[in-house]
Amino acid sequence: MSNKEIIEGCIINDRKCQELFYKKYYNTLLYMCLRYAKDKDEANVCLNNGFLRIFKNLEKLEKIESVEPWMRRIMFNSISDHLRSKAGKVRFLEIEQNGNSTNNEGYQGLLEDDILRLIDLLPRQSGEVFVLYAIHGYKHKEIAELKGISEGTSKWHLSEAKKKLQNLIIKSRNRNIDVG
Domains parsed from the chain with CATH numbers: 3-87 (1.10.1740.10), 94-174 (1.10.10.10)
What is the Cα–Cα distance from 127 to 158, expressed in whole angstroms?
8
**Residue 102: how many CB atoms within 10 A of its CB?**
14
d(CA 113, CA 91): 14
How does pLDDT run across 23-40, given as a tens digit for each residue? 999 998 998 888 878 789
Residue 157: enclosing H or E segment and its boundaries?
helix 151-174
Mean of per-residue pLDDT scores for the chain: 80
Average pLDDT over residues 110-131: 79
* 159 — pLDDT class (breaks 50, 70, 90): very high
pLDDT tens for residues 70-101?
A: 898 888 888 877 877 765 444 444 444 344 44
Beta-bridged to residue 97, according to DSSP, are 100
0.85 cut: is pTM over it? no
Distance between CA atoms of residues 126 and 78, nearest Å = 22
